[in-house]
Amino acid sequence: MNKQSFLHGAMVLVLASVITKIIGMGMQIVLNRIVGPEGIGLFRMVFPMLMMILTLSTIGLPTALSKVVAEAIAVGDRRKVKHAMIFTTVTVTILATTFTTAVISSAPWLTQHLLTDSRTYYTVLAMTPTILIISWSSILRGYFQGMQNQTPPSVAWVLETIVRSGITLVIVSFFMPDLVKASAGAMVGLLAGELTHLAYIAVSYWLRYRFERVPMPPMPPTGKPEPLRKTVWSLFEIALPVLVAGIAGSIVYWLETLLIPRALIAAGHAKAEATALFGLYSGYAVQLLVLPTVFTYALSTTLVPAISEAIALNQPKLVQRRLYQAFRFTAMIGLPSSVIFTLLATELSTAIYNTPDAGPLLAIMAPVGFFIYLKSPLSGILQGMNRAGLAMAYSIIGAVIKLLIIYYVASKPGVGITGVAWSVVITNIFVAAAYFLTVTRLIGFYVDLADTMKILISTLVMSLIILQAKTATAGMGAAYTVIVGVSVGLLVYVMLLFLFKALSLHTVKRIPIVGPAAARILQWIPFVK
């Protein structure tokens, strides 16, 4: 096992994220067209419950494990790695088993009294086996992240997406037009994918990457292996803030699921119509908006162990370098994405989902896309610096703001679901700004204005081209407008980055698998260096 560099590890995850997102997006498009907004709404009502239970089952330990393993490997403490793995596995297994049993026994009450639609009963039952499976997978994923080897989790992620997508579409197609069975079938597809994920990552761990085989530097002569109690404390030092933040986020996610349909009903919509509107928001508009997070997720995942290692080795300059790399990468991806989703919101939702009604919701939220994408890497930096508690506090405040806006605004006749979209805008601006100011205060951060201006100018030119494409393709159909606008706009954007030397062939070559081939093609362009 060779430790991957920060950028290489991030690129491996980015590649896996892109592959899984393309497959998953294709599955989601077909699924949305098969079951419609109401069917998506049924499934989305249960999904936050799963996220909440997984948060309580893992209690933040997988994230903490990645940090502790990275620190232990940096100083050559093999026993600390062993203690951290055993304690995390035992604790998470006990909790996941307990919550699985509790959900099965209380499923009738949950669906009849807590969720707004009792048709979710079989979906809840189908969800329960995934709790233990995903919990075990998250432990092994945290272990590999701590080793800064992102390849096994990435391959497992791709395999899981392929299996989940295929089985979900087959089962859902078989059960339609019965939305109740189709929703439960989608959860069975999720279970099959997670089983595949666990099987691959567990076999990889057992055959090649057990902690007994991890190469480490020799421990200093004055050093001693860390005692178990201190290792456990190190785990909970990061796990508890992550747990509280996770609980708060899951509660908010769940409360949104409960509150939004009720607010829409209060605004004058029928129950079925409220479920469909919730499906438009959560299963259509939000799914498009968060597409670029496949890139920022990779950053946040690799930042926690990378920052932890830099701090353990007392390298503050490296911490600042990681922060700027994260900011620059997010800007290069997030700014053009926000523009595309804003200018082509209705065209995208029409071409992809054949549902133009999701376009206005996407257009409201898309301008703050950059803030949404920046939150994840900033949170990873704070966790790596043992400041997860600060990230937690700002997340909770933002969550409260969001729920208050939904409660007081979305329930008003004439506002409804657009009030939910505005809650996303206000909350993400607040949380991202709070994260950024906190990180800047702790370690200092100086934006390279010249480099940032190059990205902004390239994005502005791309925006003008997309607007021209919309005008030139008016009346030709949404799909044609999207294809022409996005392809020409992004091509010009990338070429301008090369022209301004904001992007280089060296960076392209570091992309796993496809990078070297892409660099050989690009080198024939005169200004690409």
Q: How does pLDDT run across 339-352, given as a tens digit for each residue?
A: 999 999 888 888 88
Mean pLDDT of 255-284: 77
Cα separation of the two ends of the chain: 33
Mean pLDDT of 471-489: 86
Domain ranges of the chain: 6-447
Which of 5-9, 89-93, 147-151 is the least confident region?
5-9
**Contact present, 258 and 113 (Cβ < 8 Å):** no
Q: What is the pLDDT of residue 461?
A: 92
Q: What is the pLDDT of residue 211?
A: 65
User: Which range, 55-59, 109-113, 183-187, has the best average confidence (pLDDT)?
Assistant: 55-59
Q: What is the pLDDT of residue 16?
A: 72
Q: In one letter, which amino acid is 309?
A: E
Which among 130, 404, 362 has a CA at the least distance from the CA of 256?
Answer: 404
Q: What is the pLDDT of residue 460?
A: 93
Q: What is the pLDDT of residue 94?
A: 92
| Cα(123)–Cα(185) distance, integer angstroms | 8
Average pLDDT, the chain: 78
Which among 420, 413, 145, 195 has a CA at the least distance from the CA of 297?
Answer: 145
| Cα(151)–Cα(343) distance, integer angstroms | 36
| Cα(329)–Cα(292) distance, integer angstroms | 11
**Which residue in the block uniquely carries the two structure tokens 């390849």?**
151
Q: What is the pLDDT of residue 524?
A: 65
Q: What is the pLDDT of residue 528?
A: 62
Whether the predicted pLDDT of 263 surpasses 70: yes
Which of 367-381, 385-399, 419-433, 476-490 is the least confident region?
385-399
Q: What is the pLDDT of residue 1?
A: 46
φ, ψ dihedrals at 161, nearest 5°? -65, -40
Whether the predicted pLDDT of 4 surpasses 60: no
Mean pLDDT of 374-391: 76
pLDDT per residue over 282-325, tens digit each?
Answer: 777 887 888 787 777 666 666 666 666 666 666 667 777 777 77
